[in-house]
Amino acid sequence: MKEHTKQLVIEILRDFQDIPQHIKDREEELRHPVVPRDENVGGGRAQYKPNDAIDRLIITIDEDERLHKLKEEYEVVDYCYRHADDYTQKIIYELYIKRYPSYTMQGLIENGIIPYSQKTAYKMRNKFLKEVAKRLGIDSL
């Protein structure tokens, strides 16, 4: 796996806990867009504009690439994490998902949290990162 791809997956993992909030924020942003006030309209003259806000909202949320990407990242990481073995989950959680990690890979091994050698633990981690990259379609970057 290329270093760039690995770093991209690690950033996604580090942001994993915040993705649901990012999704919510993006949906709110799409539901309530900032519409600049037209200063040229004045004189108290009423203007008729058809209310197609709901149609625009559905199309916008359905077509928003950023929102789709956030949802895809969350689903892929969640799937890979749930289908990983217990020790791989411990490694990924402690090194990347946990807000304030207590251990490094070496610390996980030395404290008996992971009963494997450092080489094996890194292989487990790399296998997980490759699976996430593959499912996100970024394994060739």
Q: Residues 87-138: pLDDT tens digits?
A: 999 999 999 999 999 999 999 999 999 999 999 999 999 999 999 999 999 9
Give the pLDDT of residue 63. 79
Q: What is the pLDDT of residue 139?
A: 81
pLDDT in tens, 73-87: 999 999 999 999 999
Residues 36-60 have a mean pLDDT of 58
pTM: 0.78
pLDDT of residue 51: 55
Which contacts qualify for 68-76: CB closer than 8 Å, 24 or more apart?
70/19, 70/22, 70/23, 70/26, 71/23, 72/136, 73/12, 73/16, 73/19, 73/136, 74/16, 74/19, 74/20, 74/23, 76/132, 76/135, 76/136
pLDDT at 84: 97
pLDDT over 70 for what percent of the chain?
80
